[in-house]
Structures are given as structure tokens and as C-alpha cells.
Structure 1
């Protein structure tokens, strides 16, 4: 049994750093490796086959970097590529997504069975959230809204601008008109905007953010799969990789992760 493996976390860009930060806070003793495919972000408007190809390349990279477990933090990749990648790897290599855990929590939280979802165009078009939610409760009323402008705004560091708030209000208004009581942030980038979203929607709507959901689900998964947990390194080490300029990633990534990070260039193919 090979030990000292890392937990790999992949996202199309910076959004997964918000999830990783929460995971590290909850499970600080493990070793982690983060990969952001910032050179090719955003994924949300790309064809399904391209999303699969990029995601598979990223997952392959993480396993080559000695990861014992990979979490696809990108919802677009989770909806468009995860199942196929899991089938290809089989039981030998574990690849997890973030979409189903978020759906499970949303079903637990809703009182009036009216759930809103904001996500990328690809995630909305895939109807993956709708399928997973209705599997859990066929009586739900589900309302989706594609938000294509949000990822580019976060990736450019504009998450605190007045323009971002105005765009958020435009995206959220039709969902609020449906009287939802639960809102799924169906893209890891949107968790970075959670405070702004909360300000707009008010206190009565429950927000389901993967930054909150994933750490708990990961802890439960590792407790259940002791054979994987035993292989993981426990030195509190974190390595960061980007497919784009490391200086840009280091500046914005440090802000989003909450402390200064060092970034290496990843070459994936």
C-alpha cells in the first residue's frame, strides 16, 4: 500500500480555492494539491466533449502527481464529464464530484419544495441538478438560471464591484419571483460571491454552497473508506498549480484562499 498520497482538487479556475479553503479548515492534517485550469477557463460555454477532454487531462495530471483521491470541484465538469471519467477509471482510482452532495443538502433544507439553482450554461443545459434533485424528491419544484457573466467577473478579480452586484440582482430576480426557499450555488466560483448573494436574497432563503457542503461530505467519505484514508499523507502540505501565468494566479489566488500561496505551472495534455 502506497502512503503519503495527496487529496487532489480540480477546478476550471479560481472558484475551487474557496472550496479547498473550507476543506483545509475542516481537515487540516491531510496533504492537498490544487489545480486550476485558468488558461482555458471558463468551461461553462464550451461543448460537452471539450469539457470532458479538459477535465480528463486535469484528472490525469493530478493522479500523475501522486494524488490518492481527486475531487472535481467544477460543477460544469461534474455535470458533463464526471460519470464518464469514473467509468473509465473504475474502482482503481477514486474521482468525486460536488454536484450530488449539494443536491442532497438542498433537499434536506427546503421546506416549501421550491429550489432555485444558479449555474453555468452547460450545467443548466445538462439538467444534472434537476435529475439528481428529483431522484431524491419527485415533488420538488426546481428553477434554474444560467449566469454566464459571473465566472469571468470572479476570474478577473471583480467580485466586489458594483457591476457584479447589478448582474447578480438581474440573475436572482426571476428565481426570487418563484418563491424559492433554497438556492443552490451551482458553480464553485459563486461561493466567492455568497455574501453579495445573501445581501440580495435576504435571510429567508437558505443558501447551499459547496464550500460548506463538501468538507463534511469528504470527512464522511474518508471515514467510510478507511482503505483510502490510510494512504493519505498527513503533513498539512498544500501545493498549487495553474495552467496559466503563475504570478496572476498567486495574486488573486492568495486573496481567495485567505493567505499567501506559492504557485507552480502545470503542463497538462
Structure 2
């Protein structure tokens, strides 16, 4: 099977160092396997999105020498597909409407206990849609970190596939899109380890073979906070990208001598594709920027 990887940012702001690390890691892994590297804009949550951020993201990737294969997929164009699958599950009883609020779930210990599973609620008003989990995933194998155990309460928790506000849930969309695009391996930041069990369960529910996973080190600041758009992480410099590129490559474990630090963006990316290997990655799932 030919390798197909992807980078899937949300347009809630420009790329920062943490997202650059994820982009580079997924790109190097794809190209070192003679594979394709796709880009998908995960515009599922309009209230959090910034107008024009998708264009800024694509221009940033180009500035750093990361050229994607094929056309860019937008999740906002995939709503009909998500809804069709949800309707199929609602009809079969695999999915159901749930009236429980976050406050109620927090009061019951922080995990959903299946309260609405057998209520057969027909009115979707003020309801989320949950998937009845039948494929339990207790652990999965990460290409870098080995066997990772899923917290017990999450293994059999019926999770949301459509939110109370009518927006489609990330777990459903990302799995359906990865299947649609033929993704063979997912390379992403370690902050997304937690939902991996649910996503593998979704693959099995959709009668699809789960993909392999590689979680890259999560970049944190000196205070221990994840670099993120929500935490107002500084945007990468697209007009003079070299310093940020070298920093990101060093976070990924590359040893860059003085000659390489004088190389062009294109030369650094080409060299990185040839030298990339999983053994070079830090053992820790967190790295300070």
C-alpha cells in the first residue's frame, strides 16, 4: 500500500512553532516513505475560526518549503457526508440523542455513564448525538512511544458525534475524512493521544482497518503550557522562516551543523527528508521551546 500522510490544522489563527513541528514531522515521515502528503483544513467550529486564517496557514506552509499533494480538503464542505452517517446510525440505533449537559456529566464524575442510551429520545432539540460504543479499545501501539493504555472510563464511554449546538464532533469528522482521503498513517502532536482510542473504535464501527499512529513531541513554553492558538502562541515568521525552521527541526531531533544552518529552506527540507528517522525523536512527549 502506498503511503499517504496528512497535516490537518484548524483555521483558528496562524501557525505557531508547535504546529510547525507537527507539519514538518508529518511531511518528513511521508516523504521519507516515498508517500503523498495531504493538507486538510479542519474548519468544523466557526465560532473559533478567524477569517482568512486558512490562507495564512497555506502561505506559511509554502514559505517553509512544504508543498502538499493534490487539492486541499475543507471539512466545511463535508457536512452532508457526516450527517448521512449520523442518520444511518440513528436509524439503526447505533447512535442516539442525549440531553445530558456538561454540568450534569461533571457532577457524575466527569464521564458519561450512558444515561440517555435507552431513553429513545425522539426530539433532537437541545440534544447532542452519541455513538453507542461496541468496539472497545483499551490500548493502541504508537510508532514512537509503544503501547499506550486508554484510561479505563473512556474505553466504553459513548462519545458525542454531533454537539448540542449542531456542530459535528471532531472525532467523527477526522476519521471519516482520513478514510475518504485514504490516509495510511497519522502523524500529529502528542496532545491528540487522548482521543486516539475513540478514533480507532470509529474505524472499526465503520468496518475499516485502523491506521497507524505516530505522536510527535508536544511543544510547551517555559511555564509548562502547550503552545497553542488559545494560549496566544507567537506566530511563526513567514518572511524570514529559517530560524523557526531550524528550531522546529532541532525539536524533532535533527543535529544541524554550521554548514546546514547556512543552507537554504529548500536544501534544509530536502536534507531533512533524506535524514529523517523515528529514533532521533525525543523520548519525552513534551519538549520546551
Query: What's the TM-score once normalised by structure 2's chain length?
Result: 0.32
Task: Tell me which of the two structures has the higher relative contact order, counting C-alpha pairs closer than 8 angstroms and 6 or more residues apart.
Answer: 1
Structure number, greater radius of gyration: 2
